[in-house]
């Protein structure tokens, strides 16, 4: 199971890299969103994908499920949600004021 | 329990949120935020004094004993930086108050400045890796808003690059955390340090350390500084001063924490790489500083050079060099804030962004000119000012570690700093005045005062070395002896 999820993470990262390298701003935003999904999955996999045990380490239990990665992911998801929302608004605002969503045409400033 | 430890982070957040309700009343916003930072500064001085007397302090949130809960750990290094950062933010806030940029003030400039400072202080204080990530994000989200606040075209396009590069580096940060948790099963910094020491830092962990090196280099502007000059140039003065003083320094702090507390077992790999990166940074920064005629670009490249210089101390990795780095870090927070305030003021007064477009400003604004000269001397490391001690100690430490190339590059870069800034001074302040007295924009005392205070501080820090040196010695002592930090962060008496 861990191997499969890791492969999924790999696919997601490559998709995200492709999107990030494109010139279209919306694709770049989507790329960052997918990138963060990939790392959230990785965080979960790193804690070990076990089911069927309690999430508490005690005296009477032999196996337990690690609950910490889920807490980490929850925090990371909230943060990436906020960042993505802000980024989307910024991209739209930039599109309004520059009239383009092409990164190539936003390069540099004309003062040098 | 030391509940007071939470205040440097929580106080700015609470006040920041409360100020959201006073949008229509700029005076409340201005003075409440300044007052908050003054209180935070006093509290942090008090904690620093307490740390010096009682050793490392710790706060376990919700009484969850470490390593299970999240902790704040205050050692001398962290508290020195919190105090300095709070001090600089007071002065930058004062400058913003008197600069009267009402358009930005109406759109929550002060709440976001406070949130930025909260994130910075939190990052300095936290004793937990994931909490460090969260504090970084608090700081970064505030910085995204400040970066784009005002909506000028340049701010928007530079903002997109800035945000994108930081999302990417946050991604690497999470990746590092995932690997770290997967291999060591904990995220408490002190316990991580213990477990890495037990394992003897095998190659896998060294690889993870390189991942963190990339993350923090991006934040600090070490080698990966390409985003820095453009984005700092697009900001209003007070914000750019705060960014230059604090944001990169948080990355530097994290680098110091990681490579003295966690990954110090393979210095031949990690610290050599840091040394090489420092060289590249200083060379690149020096070239940038003399290549441009644009004032804010020159100032931004000076930030880059200083980052390289501070990390020479980390690369040398001995007590003297670390002490020097701490001195220089404190000095640099103060004086980079000052430099950006001055550059912003000069651009505001002359209306020109390049140094050959104006001249003779010292006739119109004598005090400003002299402060600028002090800043240059201080940045160049000329003795009575604060840069000297740091440079001397870093040089001694690096020579002691046998890093001759590193030392040579570091001191050559100081010459480039001097040259690049003297060029501004000679062109803009000396010579025939280009502004006639009747056209002269009046320089308000309120804008000059923060610069004057900072200049006095850099002179005072240079002359009053004896006052600061016990704190710096203690900070370096803890950094060089990780078992002290572990003892302070984990013991349950």
DSSP A52-80: SS-S---SS-S-----HHHHHHHHHHHHH
Cβ atoms of B406 and B279 closer than 8 Å: yes
Query: Residue A108 has what pLDDT?
Result: 62
- CB contact under 8 Å between B157 and A94, yes or no, is yes
- CB contact under 8 Å between A47 and B181, yes or no, is yes
The minimal CB distance from A43 to the residues B167, B168, B174 is found for: B174
Residue B57 backbone phi and psi in degrees, to 5: -105, 155
Chain A residues in contact with B163 by the CB 8 A cut-off are: 83, 86-87, 90
Residues 174-193 of B with CB under 8 A from A: 174-175, 177-179, 181-182, 187
Chain A residues in contact with B168 by the CB 8 A cut-off are: 20, 32, 35
Query: SS3 for chain B, per residue?
Result: CCHHHHHHHHHHHHHHHHHHHHCCCHHHHHHHHHHHHHHHHHHHHHHHHHHHHHCCEEEEHHHCCCCCCCEEEECHHHHHHHHHHHHHHHHHHHHHHHHCCHHHHHCCHHHHHHHHHHHHHHHHHECEHHHHHHHHHHHHHHHHHHHHCCCCHHHHHHHHHHHHHHHHHHHHHHHHHHHHHHHHCCCEHHHHHHHHHHHCCCHHHHHHHHHHHHHHHHHHCCCCCCCHHHHHHCCCHHHHHHHHHHHHHHHHHHHHHHHHHHCCCCCCCHHHHHHHHHHHHHHHHHHHHHHCCEHHHHHHHHHHHHHHHHHHHHHHCCHHHHHHHHHHHHHHHHHHHHHHHHHHHHHHHHCCCEHHHCCCHHHHCHHHHHHHHHHHHHHHCCCCCCHHHHHHHHHHHHHHCCCHHHHHHHHHHHHHHHHHHHHHHHHHHCCCCCCCHHHCCCCCHHHHHHHHHHHHHHHHHHHCHHHHHHHHHHHHHHHHCHHHHHHHHHCCC
Residue of B nearest to A107 (CA): B157
| pLDDT > 80? residue A51 | no
* Mean pLDDT (whole number) for B96-125: 92
Question: Which residues sit opposite B71 in a β-bridge?
Answer: B60
The minimal CB distance from B154 to the residues A28, A40, A109 is found for: A109
Query: Residue A62 has what pLDDT?
Result: 73
Chain B residues in contact with A112 by the CB 8 A cut-off are: 294
Shortest alpha-carbon distance between residue B163 and chain A (Å): 8
pLDDT digits (tens, 9 = 90+) for B210-255: 999 999 999 998 888 888 888 888 888 999 999 999 999 999 999 9
pLDDT digits (tens, 9 = 90+) for B113-161: 999 999 999 999 999 999 999 999 999 999 999 999 888 888 898 899 9
* Mean pLDDT (whole number) for B247-265: 93
Which helix or strand (DSSP H or E) is residue A42 part of? Answer: helix A25-46
C-alpha pair distances (Å), A27 with each of A31, A101, B405: 6, 10, 45
Angstrom distance (rounded) from CA B392 to CA B291: 28
Angstrom distance (rounded) from CA B10 to CA B143: 18
- CB contact under 8 Å between B167 and A75, yes or no, is no
pLDDT bracket for residue B493 (50, 70, 90) = low
Residues 311-370 of B with CB under 8 A from A: 353
Angstrom distance (rounded) from CA B23 to CA B456: 34
Helix (H, G, I), strand (E, B) or coil at A100: coil
Q: Respond yes or no on whether the N-terminal peptide bond of residue B6 is cis (omega within 30° of 0).
A: no
The minimal CB distance from A98 to the residues B144, B145, B153 is found for: B153
Query: Residue A112 has what pLDDT?
Result: 42
pLDDT digits (tens, 9 = 90+) for A61-87: 777 778 888 889 999 999 999 999 999
Which of B147, B156, B235, B347 is best to mutate for the A interface (most A CBs within 10 A)? B156
Interface check for B151 against chain A (CB to CB < 8 A): the answer is yes
CATH topology (fold) of A2-49+66-97: Helix Hairpins (1.10.287)
Chain A residues in contact with B144 by the CB 8 A cut-off are: 83, 86, 90
């Amino acid at each position: 199971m861990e191997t499969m999820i890791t492969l999924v993470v790999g696919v997601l990262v490559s998709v995200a890299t492709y999107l990030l390298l494109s010139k279209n701003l919306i694709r770049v935003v989507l790329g960052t969103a997918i990138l963060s999904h990939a790392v959230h999955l990785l965080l979960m996999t790193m804690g070990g994908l076990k089911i069927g045990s309690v999430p508490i380490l005690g005296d009477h239990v032999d196996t337990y499920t690690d609950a910490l990665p889920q807490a980490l992911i929850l925090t990371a998801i909230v943060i990436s949600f906020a960042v993505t929302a802000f980024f989307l608004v910024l991209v739209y605002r930039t599109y309004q004021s520059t009239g383009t969503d092409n990164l190539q045409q936003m390069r540099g400033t004309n003062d040098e | 329990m030391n509940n007071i430890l939470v205040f440097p982070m929580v106080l700015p957040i609470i006040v920041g949120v409360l100020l959201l309700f006073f949008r229509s009343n700029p005076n409340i916003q201005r003075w409440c935020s300044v007052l908050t930072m003054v209180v935070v500064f006093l509290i942090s001085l008090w904690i620093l004094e307490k740390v010096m007397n009682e050793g490392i302090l710790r706060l376990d949130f919700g009484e969850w004993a470490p390593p299970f809960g999240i902790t704040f750990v205050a050692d001398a290094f962290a508290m020195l930086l919190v105090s300095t950062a709070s001090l600089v933010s007071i002065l930058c806030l004062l400058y913003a108050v008197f600069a009267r940029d009402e358009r930005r003030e109406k759109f929550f400039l002060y709440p976001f400045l406070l949130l930025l400072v909260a994130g910075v202080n939190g990052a300095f204080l936290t004793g937990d890796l994931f909490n460090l990530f969260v504090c970084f994000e608090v700081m970064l989200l505030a910085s995204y808003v400040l970066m784009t606040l005002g909506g000028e075209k340049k701010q928007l396009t530079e903002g997109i690059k800035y945000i994108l590069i930081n999302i990417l580096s946050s991604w690497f940060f999470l990746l590092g955390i995932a690997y770290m948790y997967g291999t060591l099963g904990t995220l408490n910094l002190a316990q991580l340090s213990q477990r890495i020491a037990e394992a003897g830092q095998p190659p896998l962990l060294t690889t993870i350390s390189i991942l963190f090196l990339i993350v923090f280099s991006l934040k600090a502007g070490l080698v990966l500084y390409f985003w820095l000059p453009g984005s700092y140039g697009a900001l209003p003065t007070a914000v750019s001063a705060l960014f230059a003083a604090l944001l990169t320094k948080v990355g530097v702090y994290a680098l110091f924490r990681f490579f003295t507390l966690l990954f110090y077992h393979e210095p031949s790999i990690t610290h050599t790489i840091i040394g090489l990166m420092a060289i590249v940074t200083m060379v690149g920064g020096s070239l940038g500083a003399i290549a441009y005629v644009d004032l804010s670009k020159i100032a931004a490249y000076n930030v880059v050079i200083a980052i390289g210089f501070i990390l020479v101390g980390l690369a040398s990795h001995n007590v003297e060099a670390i002490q020097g780095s701490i001195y220089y870090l404190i000095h640099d927070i103060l004086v980079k804030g000052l430099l950006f305030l001055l550059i912003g003021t000069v651009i505001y007064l002359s209306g020109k962004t390049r140094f050959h477009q104006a001249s003779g400003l010292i006739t119109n604004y004598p005090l400003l000119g002299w402060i600028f000269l002090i800043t240059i001397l201080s940045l160049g490391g000329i003795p009575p000012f604060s840069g000297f001690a740091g440079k001397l100690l870093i040089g001694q430490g690096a020579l002691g570690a046998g890093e001759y190339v590193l030392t040579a590059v570091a001191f050559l870069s100081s010459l480039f700093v001097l040259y690049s800034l003297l060029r501004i001074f000679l062109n803009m302040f000396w010579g025939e005045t280009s502004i006639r007295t009747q056209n002269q924009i009046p320089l308000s005392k309120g804008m000059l005062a923060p610069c004057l205070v900072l200049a006095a501080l850099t002179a005072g820090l240079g002359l009053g070395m004896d006052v600061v040196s016990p704190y710096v010695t203690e900070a370096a002592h803890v950094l060089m002896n990780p078992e002290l930090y572990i003892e302070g962060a984990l013991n349950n008496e």
